[in-house]
C-alpha cells in the first residue's frame, strides 16, 4: 500500500497549500459559483450576485453542482462559523477530492504498468518499482502551477480534472460501472463539455465486445443522475430546467444577432499561442515530455492495431495483453481529442485546459519511465544506464524550481484582491450598511465569503468602468418567509444573453453613496474616474502591490531596457529581489471616503 499512501501524502500537502494560498484569477469563479453558493447557503441573508446564467429565463448553470461541491458551506453556516471558514472548507473539500483522485491514479497506473512483469523480477523489487513510479507520477500530478490552480478552484473544470482521473482509474481496474459513472457525472452535473474525455473509453468498450454493456450503463446513469438534477434545478428556477442541455445549446447553437459561430466568442477571443503559453506556464517541462510521448507513440502506432497492449517491462522485454489498451494510447488519444477541440475554439480560457491535466501528468511520467527503461539494460555500460536517471532527476528538479517560482509569482502579484477585501475594517453595527463599490477592478472581487464581519453587514455595488459588457446583477431579497427559492425564481436585475451592458448595475452617485472603493493607482480609461487622485474625497485605507500586464515603461529601469527577455521572465517566474526590481508595480487600494471613519 506504500504506492498509494505516499502519493496521497504528496497530493494532500500540495493541495493544502493551494487551499490557503490559491488566488481567484477568473471572475467566473466568483460570480458564477462562489456568489450563488453564498446566497443559497446563507438562505439569502448574506446576499449574492446573480449572473444571467442563473436567470430563470436562461438556466445555464446547475444549482446541484453547488450542492455537491459546496456542501461544507451549508454546514459551516449552520454551525455558526465565520464566512471565511466556509470558504476554506469548500476549498479543502475540493482539494481533498483532487488529492484522492491523484493518489488513486498514481497507484493504479503503477500497478497497471507492472502487472504483466512479475515473472521478470522479484516481488520485493517489483514493489519498490511500483512505489518509485507512483512517486514519480504523483510528483507530475501535484507539483505544478496547474495543480496549484486547478485542485482547489470552484470552477467546474477543476472537479472535472479529478473525475477524469477517477474515470481512468476505474477503467484500468476494469470497473466500467464507475468509469462510465464518472463520465456521466461530469457531463450532467459538473461540466458537460468535459464528457468528451470519455470518448476513448466508449470507443474501447464498443470495439472490445462491451457495446451492450456500455449502452446499459449509459441508460442506468442517466436515470440515476437526471431526476435529482431536474428536481433541484427546477425547484430553484421555478420551472423545468435541464442546465447541461441549455449550456450546450447556447454554445453550439447560438441565436445571437450579428454573431456567427459559438456564442462564447462574445466574451473574447485568443490566438492558439494563448494555450501554448498556458501549458508552458502551468505544466512547464511536463507538457514537453507529454508532447514527446505523443509524437513517439504516433510513430509506433501507425503500423500497429489500435488498443493492443505493449507494456515495456522493467527488464527491457515486452508483454502483450489484448484485453486492455496501452496506457500510452489512452492518454495520447485523450490529449488529441481535448486539445483538438479547444485549440480550434476562438474563445479560450486558462481553465479550459484543466480537465486534461491528469493525462499530461500520466504521459510525462510514462515518458520518463520509458527513458529510464530504454537505457536500463545489463548489456549497456554503467555510465550509460545512469544517463537517463540523471536526466529524469534534473528534469524533476527543474520542474520543482519552476513550479515554486511560478506559484510564488501568483501569490506575490495576484493575491492582492483577497488580501485587501479581508483587511477592510469590520463595519460597526448600524442601520446604514457600508457600501463597497467596484469599478475597473470588478473582475478581481473575490466574493462575499471574504468580507469581514459577515456579508450580511455589507452592500456591494458597481461604478462605471471601461468594461462595456454585462455585469452581474443582484439576487432579489427573499420574501419574509425566508425561502431562498423565492429569490432564485425571479430576475433580480434585467438580463440578456448577448453580453450587452445593462445600465441598472451602476451606482449613480458614487462620491456620496460609496463608503469604500476598490481601485488602482494607474491612469483611468474610458468612462473611468481616477479615485486615487481625488485626495479631497478619498484616502487609501489599505493597499497592496500588484503588476499590470502590458504596462511596463522600459525607461524606468536600465536593466529592463537591455534585457527584455529577462524582464519578461522575471514577471512570470518570481526570483527574490530581482523580480521586485524588474516588475512594473502598481498599487491596488481600498479607498475610504472622508467622513466615514465611524464605520471603522
Is there a single domain that holds both residue 332 and residue 436? no
Is there a single domain that holds both residue 441 and residue 364? no
Q: Which residues pair with 50 in a beta bridge?
A: 473
Which residues have C-beta within 8 Å of that of residue 468, sequence separation ≥ 6? 501
| Predicted TM-score (pTM) of this structure | 0.92
Q: Which residues pair with 312 in a beta bridge?
A: 318
Whole-number pLDDT of residue 548? 76
Cell numbers standing for residue 264: 462564447
C-alpha dist (Å) from residue 425 to 20, 179, 420, 578: 21, 49, 10, 33
In 143-175, alpha helices (H): 145-150, 157-172
Residue 488 has phi, psi (to 5 degrees) of: -75, -15
Secondary structure string (H, E, C) spanning 482-501:
CCCHHHHCCCCCCCCCCCCC
Which residues have C-beta within 8 Å of that of residue 212, sequence separation ≥ 6? none
Long-range CB pairs of 234-237 (<8 Å, 24+ gap) are 235/485, 236/40, 236/63, 236/485, 236/488, 236/489, 237/56, 237/59, 237/488, 237/489
Q: Which helix (H) or strand (E) holds 312?
A: strand 309-312
Category of 316 on φ-ψ map: left (φ > 0), alpha (ψ -120 to 50) or beta: left
Is there a single domain that holds both residue 175 and residue 307? yes
Is there a single domain that holds both residue 445 and residue 548? yes
Tens digit of each residue's pLDDT (9 = 90 or more) over 322-334: 456 789 999 999 9
Is there a single domain that holds both residue 51 and residue 195? yes
Is there a single domain that holds both residue 186 and residue 303? yes
Question: Looking at the chain, how many residues does it have?
Answer: 600
Give me the helix-helix angle, 211-237 and 243-252, nearest 10°. 100
Nearest CA-CA partner of 170 in 141, 128, 222, 205: 205
Tens digit of each residue's pLDDT (9 = 90 or more) over 516-530: 999 998 888 888 899
Residue 193 has pLDDT above 50, yes or no: yes
Q: Which helix (H) or strand (E) holds 498?
A: none
pLDDT band at 309 (very low <50, low <70, confident <90, very high): very low
Secondary structure string (H, E, C) spanning 37-86:
HHHHHCCCCCCCEECHHHCCCCCCCCHHHHHHHHHHHHHHHHCCCCHHHH
Q: Which of 123-132, 204-213, 407-416 has the lowest mean pLDDT?
A: 123-132
Is there a single domain that holds both residue 409 and residue 474? no
Whole-number pLDDT of residue 17? 98
Contact between residue 350 and residue 152 where contact means Cβ atoms under 8 Å apart: no
Is there a single domain that holds both residue 185 and residue 277? yes
Residue 59 has phi, psi (to 5 degrees) of: 60, 55
Q: Which of 200-214, 478-492, 514-528, 549-563 has the highest mean pLDDT?
A: 200-214
Is there a single domain that holds both residue 399 and residue 420? no
Which among 413, 436, 467 is the end of a domain? 413
Cell numbers standing for residue 307: 488498443
Whole-number pLDDT of residue 519? 93
| Helix/strand/coil for 143 | coil
| Helix/strand/coil for 18 | helix
Number of domains in the chain: 2
Which among 413, 429, 456 is the end of a domain? 413
- What is the C-alpha to C-alpha distance for residues 73 and 449, in angstroms, rounded to an integer? 10
- Region 373-387: mean pLDDT is 74
Residue 349: DSSP 8-state: -
Residue 559 has pLDDT above 70, yes or no: no
Q: Which residues pair with 546 in a beta bridge?
A: 586
Is there a single domain that holds both residue 385 and residue 483? no
Whole-number pLDDT of residue 42? 94
Contact between residue 226 and residue 281 where contact means Cβ atoms under 8 Å apart: no
- Region 481-504: mean pLDDT is 91
By residue range, what is the domain housing residue 546? 416-599
Residue 480 has pLDDT above 80, yes or no: no
Contact between residue 436 and residue 591 where contact means Cβ atoms under 8 Å apart: no
Is there a single domain that holds both residue 406 and residue 470? no
Is there a single domain that holds both residue 381 and residue 522? no
Cell numbers standing for residue 567: 524582464
Residue 553 has pLDDT above 70, yes or no: no
Which among 353, 379, 413 is the end of a domain? 413
Show the CA angle centred on residue 367, arms to residues 362 and 368, nearest 5°: 100
Amino acid at each position: 500500500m506504500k504506492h498509494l499512501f505516499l502519493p496521497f501524502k504528496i497530493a494532500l500537502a500540495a493541495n493544502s497549500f493551494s487551499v490557503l494560498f490559491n488566488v481567484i484569477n477568473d471572475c467566473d469563479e466568483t460570480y458564477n459559483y462562489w456568489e450563488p453558493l453564498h446566497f443559497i447557503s446563507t438562505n439569502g441573508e448574506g446576499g449574492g450576485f446573480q449572473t444571467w446564467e442563473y436567470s430563470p429565463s436562461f438556466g445555464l448553470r446547475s444549482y446541484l453542482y453547488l450542492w455537491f461541491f459546496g456542501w461544507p458551506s451549508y454546514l459551516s453556516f449552520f454551525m455558526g462559523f465565520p464566512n471565511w471558514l466556509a470558504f476554506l472548507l469548500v476549498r479543502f473539500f475540493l482539494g481533498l477530492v483532487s488529492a484522492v483522485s491523484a493518489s488513486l491514479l498514481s497507484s493504479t497506473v503503477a500497478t497497471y504498468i507492472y502487472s504483466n512483469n512479475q515473472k521478470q523480477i522479484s516481488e520485493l523489487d517489483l514493489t519498490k518499482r511500483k512505489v518509485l513510479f507512483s512517486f514519480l507520477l504523483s510528483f507530475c500530478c501535484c507539483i505544478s502551477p496547474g495543480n496549484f490552480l486547478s485542485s482547489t478552484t470552484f470552477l467546474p473544470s477543476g472537479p472535472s480534472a479529478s473525475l477524469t482521473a477517477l474515470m481512468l482509474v476505474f477503467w484500468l481496474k476494469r470497473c466500467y460501472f464507475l468509469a462510465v459513472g464518472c463520465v456521466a457525472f461530469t457531463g450532467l452535473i459538473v461540466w458537460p463539455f468535459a464528457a468528451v474525455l470519455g470518448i476513448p473509453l466508449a470507443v474501447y468498450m464498443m470495439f472490445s465486445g462491451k457495446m451492450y454493456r456500455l449502452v446499459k450503463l449509459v441508460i442506468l446513469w442517466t436515470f440515476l443522475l437526471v431526476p435529482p438534477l431536474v428536481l433541484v434545478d427546477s425547484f430553484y428556477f421555478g420551472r423545468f430546467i435541464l442546465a447541461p442541455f441549455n449550456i450546450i445549446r447556447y454554445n453550439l447553437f447560438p441565436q445571437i444577432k450579428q454573431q456567427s459561430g459559438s456564442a462564447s466568442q462574445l466574451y473574447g477571443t485568443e490566438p492558439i499561442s494563448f494555450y501554448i503559453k498556458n501549458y508552458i506556464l502551468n505544466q512547464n517541462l511536463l507538457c514537453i515530455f507529454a508532447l514527446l510521448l505523443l509524437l513517439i507513440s504516433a510513430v509506433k502506432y501507425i503500423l500497429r492495431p489500435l488498443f493492443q497492449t505493449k507494456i515495456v517491462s522493467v527488464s527491457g522485454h515486452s508483454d502483450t495483453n489484448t484485453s486492455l489498451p496501452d496506457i500510452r494510447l489512452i492518454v495520447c488519444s485523450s490529449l488529441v481529442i481535448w486539445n483538438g477541440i479547444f485549440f480550434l475554439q476562438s474563445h479560450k480560457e486558462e481553465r479550459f485546459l484543466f480537465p486534461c491535466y491528469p493525462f499530461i501528468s500520466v504521459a510525462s511520467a510514462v515518458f520518463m519511465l520509458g527513458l529510464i527503461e530504454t537505457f536500463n539494460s545489463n548489456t549497456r555500460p554503467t555510465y550509460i544506464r545512469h544517463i537517463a536517471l540523471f536526466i529524469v532527476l534534473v528534469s524533476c528538479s527543474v520542474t520543482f524550481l519552476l513550479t515554486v517560482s511560478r506559484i510564488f509569482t501568483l501569490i506575490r502579484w495576484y493575491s492582492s484582491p483577497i488580501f485587501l477585501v479581508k483587511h477592510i475594517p469590520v463595519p460597526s453595527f448600524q442601520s446604514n450598511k457600508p457600501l463597497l463599490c467596484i469599478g475597473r477592478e470588478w473582475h478581481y472581487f473575490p466574493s462575499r465569503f471574504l468580507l469581514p464581519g459577515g456579508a450580511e453587514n455589507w452592500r456591494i455595488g458597481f461604478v462605471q468602468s471601461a468594461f462595456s459588457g454585462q455585469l452581474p446583477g443582484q439576487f432579489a431579497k427573499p420574501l419574509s418567509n425566508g425561502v431562498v427559492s423565492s429569490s432564485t425564481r425571479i430576475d433580480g436585475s434585467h438580463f440578456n444573453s448577448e453580453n450587452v451592458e445593462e445600465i441598472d448595475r451602476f451606482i449613480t452617485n458614487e462620491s456620496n453613496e460609496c463608503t469604500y472603493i476598490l481601485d488602482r493607482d494607474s491612469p483611468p480609461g474610458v468612462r473611468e474616474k481616477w479615485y486615487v487622485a481625488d485626495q479631497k474625497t478619498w484616502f487609501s485605507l489599505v493597499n497592496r502591490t500588484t503588476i499590470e500586464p502590458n504596462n511596463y515603461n522600459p525607461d524606468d529601469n536600465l536593466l529592463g531596457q537591455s534585457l527584455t527577455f529577462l524582464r519578461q521572465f522575471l514577471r512570470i517566474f518570481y526570483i527574490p529581489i530581482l523580480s521586485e526590481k524588474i516588475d512594473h508595480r502598481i498599487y491596488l487600494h481600498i479607498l475610504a471616503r472622508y467622513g466615514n471613519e465611524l464605520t471603522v
